[in-house]
Amino acid sequence: MASPVNIIVGSHVWVEDSVLAWIDGEVTRIDGQNVHVQTTIGKKVIVNISKIYPKDTEAPPGGVDDMTKLSYLHEPGVLQNLATRYELNEIYTYTGNILIAVNPFQRLPHLYDTHMMEQYKGAALGELSPHVFAIADVAYRAMLNEGKSNAILVSGESGAGKTETTKMLMRYLAHLGGRSGVEGRTVEQQVLESNPVLEAFGNAKTVRNNNSSRFGKFVEIQFDKHGRISGAAIRTYLLERSRVCQISFPERNYHCFYLLCAAPPEEREKYKLGKPESFHYLNQSSCYQLDGVDDSEEYLATRRAMDVVGISDEEQESIFRVVAAILHLGNIEFAKGEEIDSSMIKDEKSRFHMNTAAELLKCDSKSLEDALIKRVMVTPEEVITRTLDPEGALGSRDALAKTVYSRLFDWIVEKINISIGQDPNSKARIGVLDIYGFESFKHNSFEQFCINFTNEKLQQHFNQHVFKMEQEEYEKEKIEWSYIEFVDNQDVLDLIEKKPGGIIALLDEACMFPKSTHETFAQKLYQTFVKNKRFIKPKLSRTNFTICHYAGEVTYMADLFLDKNKDYVVAEHQDLLTDSKCPFVANLFPPLPEESSKSSKFSSIGTRFKQQLQSLMEILSSTEPHYIRCVKPNNVLKPAIFENVNVIQQLRCGGVLEAIRISCAGYPTRRTFDEFLLRFGVLAPEALDGIPDDKVACQMILSKMGLKGYQLGRNKVFLRAGQMAELDARRTEILGNAAKTIQRQVRTYIAWKEFFSLRQAAVQLQSCWRAIYACKLYEELRREAASLKIQKNYRCHIAQKSYLSVKSSSVLVQTGMRAMSARNEFRFRKQTKAATKIQAQWRSYKEFSYYRRLQKAALNTQCGWRRRVARRELRKLKMAARETGALKEAKDKLEKKVEELTWRLQFEKRLRTELEETKAQEIGKLQEALHSMQLQIEDANARVLKEREAARKAIEEAPPVIKETPIMVQDTAKIDALTLEVESLRASLLSESEAAENARKACADADARNTELSKKLEETEVKVGQLQETIQRLEEKLSNSESENQVLRQQSLTMPPTGKAIPARPRTTVIQRTPEKAIILNGETKPTPDMAITPLIAKEPEPEEKAQKSLNDKQQENQDLLIQCISQDLGFSGGKPVAAYIIYKCLLHWRSFEVERTSVFDRVIGAISSSIEGADNNDILGYWLCNTSTLLMLLQHTLKASGAANLTPQRRRSSSTSLFGRMSQGLRTSPQSAVLPFLNSRMLGRLDDLRQVEAKYPALLFKQQLTAFLEKIYGMIRDNLKKEISPLLGLCIQAPRTSRSSLVKGRSHANTGAQQALIAHWQSIVKSLDVYMKIMKANYVPSFLIRKVFSQVFSFINVQLLNSLLLRRECCSFSNGEYVKAGLAELEQWCCYATEEYIGSAWDELKHIRQAVGFLVIHQKPKKTLSEITDELCPVLSIQQLYRISTMYWDDKYGTHSVSSNVISRMRSMMTDDANNAISSSFLLDDDSSIPFSVDDLSKSMQMVEVAHIEPPPLIRENSGFVFLHQRSD
């Protein structure tokens, strides 16, 4: 990071700040080497010119995804870029091939879902946005292609997100090469399930992190030769053993101790545990609880995790017994013994803890005491036993605790590895290293020394890798380069690990001398390294020392170095625990060889640490490394907080700034020729005109500027440090002069515009004054005319008002009189109507009451009778339901009963019809007789009246008689005769009246019987429905069609059809099933003689069997011929697929749909399967897609499920009751019998008539298999089209580079040929779509299926284009939006050409990419509000997608900005609310590959299906078995 040399007044620079690390400002004055800077926060500072760095004012507002693309690669530029991207939730950034991951401290699930994994699968590094998946994919591809193991090194300080990053790496690797593990768990799942266990026993609270890993973890994922995961192993390094015995505030010991102290009461009672404050190993720090963590719940979670990884309950109990024993060991205290330099147990409390520890470890208490305070020394002469002093006993106690815990941790790791499973034969591996980062606290001890030593080693490996990558970049670009000098940290490593003379060697030496102290050790260090520039002695301390690490100076306190480094392998401890009665403890301490168990040997933790580190470095050196540097943005562990000082320190500790320094030592600024010309073309415009070679143009610009030391590679310009600033200064000067010219012209224009506006204002003022004067004159004239008009109108108004008043009075009087008369008339009519209505209501109520009484009585009678009949039927049904042993026989009986009831129903209908006709005839006769009688009575009455009148006249005309005269006998006899005749007439009238009354009663009885028969008819129909429902239930019990259909449908695509013919069913006797041996002909029931219907059983079995066999052979030959025929391409006839109609007619003619067993369906399916198997020819697929869809529609309209349950009431009433109908129904179980041709010719009629048949199970299964093949063929065509256009879509999302002339002039003036070249890829896609359209049209594929194909393909285009746009920043540019918009216009033009019949709504599927592209090319984005964007511009796009596009947008054509910061902040807040409400935050779209239609949808779209006449193909045209194909419909 060289100091700038081209700083001028007005330059934007970075200056160092104690609070913000770096702050930007503008140079206001330069005094020699001092620069006056006005910062953006309002401060004025004066700094030396060597301590400021230039700021790139043209940096993208969203930062760059690779910091090697920064114009100024220095510390403040890197920090600003990370802060900018972090604000936009872009947590990943590249530095070359190094990934920097900033912990967001919030959930970002959209970054890690399966869709995101698929996007990065196979993508080159840098092609998509930075991501941890990209690093994992590069490692995986390198392993497959080169056959070399790879390693991913994840580093960072506590809380930086190393563990989460490791989880994401393993998830992605498992996604690429996953395999199912034990019990259905993948290797990645098993590794992740082990994390809670390892965290409980290997993590602890430190100063900066509540869950800091105190060990290094190297997860080795093993792969087989096919790239599939074959195993995994977890290797741990450098466990911090000293933490078991020594901790300091505010840290804690390992989590497992606190979890066990928070266990349930019965567990604590079993292990005799109390609160953490009561144990010495825990109360050295007053921190016992973690914020937001419940140790009791964590204990249960740890136990569950141990169950998951395969640790049994007995082993878990043993593990926690050992943990409890360690706690009790820490509470054992020692006092001085009776002898000199001896010790003993201090008090009863200590003895209680010792006895408890012995009990938990299942060893002898006395032996434990001796092992702690005694040592056995073996000499050639004798064995000497000596007692340790209290200090030595404490050291022995702590050594035992550390050894036991270390062995326990190693056992847990080994157990987890056994559970996961390793592949010893694996040749390729990918390792993921998760290890603690550089640590520098206020007080640093031995632990920080070891950790920083590890990071020094890893930093050396990292520097070598970065240097190697730098040299490879130079070689790739073919530039001249010499060895780049960079500061190596080998001198620090020598200071620490050199043997002899290193710090670790001196520490081991001091530990081996009993009299050594930390002061003597420190003095030894001061004397040894007095001249070492990496070692510093503090002035005010006698025991501290400082080491200059690569990340800065760290001061260590040597007070506890000796105690923490000692790790004796005590023979007494080994023997004690080896002899433990607990198998688990004894297994932790296997017996040692005899020579190593005689005495205690000193073991240094530092030396072991160095050996493990060397082993780790050997593994890393044998692999290809990839680096991920995790950064913690703040110490409060909250989102959206970026602390510059904290981050810059981590960048130093992580070696990122060291890598930048290495880059700055060479050529820190690298630009492609296009980018260089785009930025600096204004320095030499003549270089852009007429020079086709970009490299020559760049050379001319650099030569004109007089720069030296730069290099021109094959594709890039390499600039030395400071040269970019010099070019920018020259560019700023040229742009400043251009700006002055523009300002001059603008000021001239403004002055000219102001003059013209003043002149125009004067003219307008004069015009206004003249207009005002004319208006005043006009106003006076107008007032005079108005006054005359007002007077005239006022007089007119007075006269009119008087007239109207008189008129209204007269009208009012007339209205009142007429209204009074009308009210009187209305009142009279209303009273009359009310009286009439009351009379009518009373008569109606009287008659209605009588009718209701009669109706109620009739209903009661009917309900009683129906209840009785229903109970009788219920008892019968219950009895029938109990007979579960004979379901088939019950079904047959029920079918017979249905037929009988159907017959009875029809018979009762016929009787009812005849009864109604008879009743009508009788009523007519009675009415005629009554009419004739009435006429006779009237005639007799007339004659009687005439006779009486004649008699009266005769008496009046007779002369008066003085004396009595005898009456004439003749007159008396005549009167008597007339009287008798009158009486007889009266008698006949009475008899006729009685006859009429009887006829009325008979009619009423007939009506009652008719009503009763109607009720019985309804009850019969109800019984029929119940019986049919019973049959349906019995059929459902007999078949498990739901499960079998699904299984057979799936197997139909995978199992080849059997070639064996299914044997025909046994012959059955056809017996006419009629009630009481009667048949119904023409509505009459006639008895049937015994010989009327004969069984179809031959008297001679052998000839019949031969005939049946011959018939079967003939049928088999016909099937073979059909399969051979449809295996050929039969083409189309009149737009109809020949094969589909041939298959349908043959199956219908052979009655294959109605048989229980047949092999023809399997053979047809096999022929279709063999035709499309492995067919890459879309023409064949289109041909069979048309055939299968047509055949499926024919079956859809023809087949109906067998059984009475599926019949409609109309079909039940129209069931075949004729002789031939019953014969055909009886013969359906034997379709290959001898009477089949007779039935076909006499009963089936024309095949051209589309009719429904009852389908058996094989036919329904055939329909399902055909549906599956239709979906399969549809999917193959759709996927073939997707595969063909998928490579083109990758080229269509990013526009090619435009010509240099457009870079200078601001817009493209390319000719027509160049424009055609830009959209060539889109035209290729259109060509592919057109080819598939023509293929499907040529094969007469239904337009419904064509629409579905193109809808899904357009949806695929929409998903691919939008996902690529959202993942690649270079695609979110203005010019790229214009390019994609032009391509979409090509697609729209093709859609219009293809017509809506075949395209449908496919164009609407592109709504996401259309709106996204429209947003890219719209102008004045900063003026758009969020509501305008979401409601008008992009209503379909989600907030996450809009936020992604807005933050990644850059205008490479006009230099405009994206939406305003206010809109961005509102989008971010809405995204946060969605995340809190558990709404999916994924911004990627998902491609739907399901079948978008059902058979019903297809059936509705093809309703006009008819069995057309098709000319048979030549293969079967002359065959006698296919004569039926020649039949034509009339």
Cβ neighbour number for residue 1004 with a 10 Å cutoff? 10
> How many CA atoms lie within 13 Å of 65's alpha carbon, on the beta-carbon side?
18
Burial of 1198 (0-12, 13-18, 19+ CB in 10 A): buried
Phi-psi region of 1076 (alpha: psi -120 to 50; beta: other; left: phi over 0): left
Cβ neighbours of 129 (radius 10 Å)? 21
Rounded Cα distance, 505 and 1193, in Å: 88
**Residue 433: enclosing H or E segment and its boundaries?**
strand 428-434
Neighbour tally for 272: CB within 10 Å: 16
Tell whether the torsion through CA atoms of 1193, 1198, 1202 and 1204 is positive or negative: positive
**Distance in angstroms (rounded) separating the CA atoms of residues 693 and 700:** 11
Q: Which of 298, 333, 369, 439 is catalytic?
A: 439
Distance (Å, whole) CA 154 – CA 167: 11
Q: Please indicate whether residue 163 is annotated as part of the active site.
A: yes
| E strand or H helix at 767 | helix 723-882
What b-and-e string marks burial along 1072-1089, b requiring 16 or more CB atoms within 10 Å of the CB?
Answer: bebbeeebbeeeebeebe
**d(C-alpha 508, C-alpha 506), whole Å:** 5
Q: Indicate which residue of 163, 463, 1267, 1481 is catalytic.
A: 163
Does the annotation count 283 as an active-site position?
Answer: no
From CA 1374, how far away is CA 1302, in angstroms rounded?
14
* Catalytic residue check, 615: no
Beta-strand (E) ranges in 1027-1166? 1078-1081, 1084-1087, 1132-1133, 1136-1137
Show Cβ contacts of residue 333 under 8 Å, excluding neighbours closer than 6 positions: 345, 346, 347, 350, 394
Catalytic site residue 212?
Answer: yes
User: What DSSP character marks residue 1062?
Assistant: P
Residue 1268 and residue 1168: Cα distance in Å, rounded? 12
- Active-site annotation holds for 11: no
Rg (CA), the chain: 53
Report the sign of the C-alpha dihedral through residues 493, 495, 499, 503, in that order. negative
**Catalytic annotation on 1221?**
no
Handedness of CA 1114, 1115, 1121, 1124 (dihedral sign): negative
Are 476 and 493 spatial neighbours (Cβ–Cβ below 8 Å)?
Answer: no
Is 426 one of the annotated active-site residues of the chain? no
Residue 807 CB burial class (10 angstroms; 0-12, 13-18, ≥19): exposed
CA geometry: angle at 1358 spanning 1355 and 1360, to 5°?
Answer: 110
| Residue 1241 among the catalytic residues | no
Active-site option among 159, 161, 216, 722: 159
Phi-psi region of 1400 (alpha: psi -120 to 50; beta: other; left: phi over 0): left
**Contact between residue 510 and residue 522 where contact means Cβ atoms under 8 Å apart:** no
555: CB partners within 8 A, 6+ apart: 444, 538, 544, 545, 546
Enumerate residues 6+ apart whose C-beta is below 8 A from 157.
Answer: 208, 209, 436, 437, 438, 439, 632, 650, 653
Catalytically annotated residue among 84, 165, 194, 212? 212
Give the C-alpha distances (Å, rounded to integers) separating 791 from 778, 780, 783, 785, 1450: 21, 17, 13, 10, 78
Q: Identify the active-site residue in 63, 437, 502, 1166.
A: 437
User: Beta-carbon neighbour count of residue 1461 at 10 Å?
Assistant: 12
Residue listed under structure tokens 């499309």: 1172
User: How far apart, in Å, are the Cα atoms of 1485 and each of 77, 1290, 1359, 1360, 1439?
Assistant: 34, 16, 6, 8, 13
Whether 349 contacts 334, CB under 8 Å: no
Q: Which of 158, 203, 489, 1447 is catalytic?
A: 158
Find the catalytic residue in 89, 194, 203, 213: 213
In sequence order, the 6+-apart residues with CB closer than 8 A to the CB of 201 are 254, 255, 256, 408, 409, 412
Q: Which residues are catalytic?
A: 158-159, 163, 209, 212-213, 437, 439
